[in-house]
Structure 1
Amino acid sequence: MSLPVEAPLLQTESLYGDRLVAVVPPGHPLAQAREVTVMQLAAEPLILGERGGNRRRIIDLFFEHAGVRPHVAMELNRDEAIKKMVEVGLGVGILPWLTVQREVHAGLLRALPIRGLKSRWELGVAYRKEDTPSEPLRAFLELCRAYLGKGGERRRVAARRS
């Protein structure tokens, strides 16, 4: 889940901090850029996640602080749908690197750093605070920590290669 979560009855644990990147198809005019600016993004039709989540809040605040009104062409509730719309050239997406790295490595998408976007998107888990974690929950948390925590990037790369 995307963190932070405002819920006093929940215990949260951050597992992975990811950066948001602009995503374009390889033939897009921005595809060869080293990075994109808020003005470049505002000039493009954007395909974003729905309002209400932390990631969308970060994106909206980025444009608001720059005093720029983006052209949001589509709001979708699935990252896979956003990636497909970007792949076919319907707009520019803003997604976490972890979400698009496979398509970038396959040459289907290009990921570009966004100049001035300092916020990182945090991925984590939440569970009831007063409960003693069950054995399955402890095993799940350990698996998440191993995959996403320290050293997790090496394991993800190795898993992609196998």
Structure 2
Amino acid sequence: MHFDLADLRLFIHIAEAPSLTQGARRAFLSPAAASARIKALEGQLGSRLLYRDNRGVELTPAGQRLLQHARLIMRQVDYLKSEFTDYGAEAAGHIRIFANTTAVTEFLPEVLAGFLADRPGVTVDLQERLSRDIVRGVLDGSTDLGIIAGPVQAPGLQVLHFSTDRLVLAVPVGHELAARERVKLHDTLAFQHIGLHEGSTLLSFLRERVEHLGEQLSLRIQVSSFEAVCRMIEAGVGIGIIPESAARRHSRTMRLAVVELDEPWAVRERSILVRELEALPGSIRALIATLRQEPDPAR
């Protein structure tokens, strides 16, 4: 059985579009030519890969399996290309990262700024994702590496610890909880919270913990960054649970009180997820080494 790499890349484009016309455009083919290639691929595999209708395409179970393998194959091809460039193994290539909210907003921008400044041939696609999507993305090859906090259920992946993340309660100075040394999550639920945007990893995590208590999280407003959360808290709009690194930093310029959360899940280990470290190209291994050598942002 012979696979044409161009056909596999075309199939990925169509699956991610998800439209044959849009996928063909990304592959610089006409829809008719793309359709003929997909039909030939289906004939070679002896399986239907796509359901087609006027709304677009949907992958069949066989198509889902092929997509997973095709992504891994094409990513390895890209790794091979990046290893043989004029820049050298560590100085070129494209890196896709799926990461949680804290990583995307708190420490990765600074880490990546220094890393990319030293490597003009490297490009990065950084996407904020939920924990389960981060694990799935690394497993199916849709991302090179994942950055996650908390317990990890990821059989088949390498889990590389690199720092510790602590969640704390931030309240306005003078708030009735400000005098407490530590609080339980339940103690905070009588007050309105300031939350991050829908789809953020931290908000999803907190909702799960609140639901576990049989309660509901009362959100007064949702904002897009920890700085915005802290500004709302300083103004007396509500209280919020955020990473200690963000709370301590913003408390230096805002009137905030930081209270320890007395919960076993408040301290979360940060980890990098990869399929196989030694199989990654030099640029990705160099980024992982940089992350693991960085001082802990929570300290």
Please state which band the TM-score falls in when normalised by the shorter chain: 0.7 to 0.9
In the TM superposition, residue 14 of structure 1 has moved relative to its aligned partner by 4.3
Taking structure 2 as the reference length, the TM-score comes to 0.44
Of the structure 1 ranges 48-57 and 27-36, higher mean CA displacement relative to structure 2 is found in: 48-57
In the alignment, the residues of structure 2 paired with residue 156 and residue 49 of structure 1 have an alpha-carbon distance, to the nearest angstrom, of 19
Q: 1:57 to 1:117 in 2, by over 3 A?
A: farther
Which structure is higher in helix share? Answer: 2
Of the structure 1 ranges 56-65 and 124-133, higher mean CA displacement relative to structure 2 is found in: 124-133
Of the structure 1 ranges 97-106 and 72-81, higher mean CA displacement relative to structure 2 is found in: 97-106
In the alignment, the residues of structure 2 paired with residue 52 and residue 123 of structure 1 have an alpha-carbon distance, to the nearest angstrom, of 19
Q: For residues 1-162 of structure 1, what are the structure 2 equivalents within 5 Å?
A: 1-2=99-100, 3=131, 5-7=134-136, 8=139, 9=141, 10=143, 11-12=145-146, 13-105=160-252, 108-124=255-271, 133-147=280-294, 152-153=295-296
In the alignment, the residues of structure 2 paired with residue 70 and residue 99 of structure 1 have an alpha-carbon distance, to the nearest angstrom, of 21
Taking structure 1 as the reference length, the TM-score comes to 0.74
CA contact (8 A) 2:231 2:254 kept: no
Q: Which of structures 1 and 2 has the larger relative contact order (alpha carbons within 8 angstroms, sep 6+)?
A: 1
Gaps of 5+ in 1: 158-162
Letter in 1 for 2:255: L
Structure 1 residue matching 2:177: 3-state secondary structure: coil
- Structure having the higher Rg: 2
Aligned residues: 152
In the alignment, the residues of structure 1 paired with residue 288 and residue 255 of structure 2 have an alpha-carbon distance, to the nearest angstrom, of 32
Identity %, equivalent residues = 22
Q: 1:122 to 1:64 in 2, by over 3 A?
A: same
In the TM superposition, residue 15 of structure 1 has moved relative to its aligned partner by 2.7
After superposition, the CA RMSD in angstroms is: 3.0
In the TM superposition, residue 52 of structure 1 has moved relative to its aligned partner by 2.6
In the alignment, the residues of structure 2 paired with residue 156 and residue 23 of structure 1 have an alpha-carbon distance, to the nearest angstrom, of 15
Letter in 2 for 1:61: E
Structure 2 residue matching 1:56: 3-state secondary structure: helix
In the alignment, the residues of structure 2 paired with residue 122 and residue 25 of structure 1 have an alpha-carbon distance, to the nearest angstrom, of 28
